[in-house]
Amino acid sequence: MRPKIIYVYDALCGWCYGFSPAMLALKDLYCDQFDFEVISGGMMTGLQTGPVSVVAPYIQTAYKTVEETTGINFGEGFLKQVEKGSMILDSEKPAIALSVYKSYHPENTLQFAYDIQQCINFDGKEPNDDDMYRYLAVNFGIDPDEFVHKMREEEFKQAAYYDFALTKQLRIDSFPAVLIQSADNYFFLIARGYASQETMELRIENVLKDMSKSG
């Protein structure tokens, strides 16, 4: 099998939002050597879901740390939503949307995941609102009605929950996380939490050296 870089992210994770541009750059650099896959981590599901007001005090300070560390910007639209407090934080629907998108263009999933993050963290769009996914579908040349219809199909909900289960199986409990899969059951964990693009490149090069020795 061709080695694979697996990005475990969550659409509602601020650090993932700051990290995704580095992942896009890494894909440009390493697309000849690796396949790239995005898995939804399910950070906020079940009892962890709820209005943004519950975590608003944390977000109002934490977002500045993410901006300073990563260079990303959180938009006025998102910050207004945090202040208002009614946006529901639930990882399920963005994860289902990612599963649907994979059925169209699996090779471009990284860009779609980042665009979901921008809609939420910059524009302040509601992650549970169908209109956000219609907007994204149009941007990616997909019929918006068809896309939203697919999001209601059991197959794609199950695919999202498979991602959540796989995240647990890989023992990932914080986001972002990145692994290199070099064989069926052989993984290198190269990021648990935010890392700069330069750091990621060094870690990938080290894994490539290991793989060439063992291969």
CA 205 – CA 196 distance, rounded (Å): 14
Domain CATH for 94 = 3.40.30.10
pLDDT digits (tens, 9 = 90+) for 149-207: 999 999 999 999 999 999 999 999 999 999 999 887 789 999 999 999 999 999 999 99
Angle at 137 between CA 134 and CA 143, to 5 degrees: 90
- Cα dihedral value 110, 115, 120, 121, nearest 10: 80
- H/E element, 186: strand 186-192
Average pLDDT over every residue of 90-113 = 97
At residue 215 the predicted structure's pLDDT band, cuts being 50, 70 and 90, is: low
pLDDT of residue 11: 97
Query: Model's pTM, two decimal places?
Result: 0.94
Domain encompassing residue 48: 4-214
> What b/e string do you get for 5-43 counting C-beta neighbours within 10 Å, with b at 16 or more?
bbbbbbbbbbbbbbbbebbbebbeebeeebbbbbbbbbb
- H/E element, 151: helix 144-151
pLDDT digits (tens, 9 = 90+) for 105-152: 999 999 999 999 999 999 999 999 999 999 999 999 999 999 999 999
Strands 177-183 vs 186-192: parallel, antiparallel or unpaired: antiparallel
**Number of structural domains the chain divides into:** 1
Q: 130-135: long-range contacts (C-beta < 8 A, 24 or more apart)?
A: 133/93, 133/97
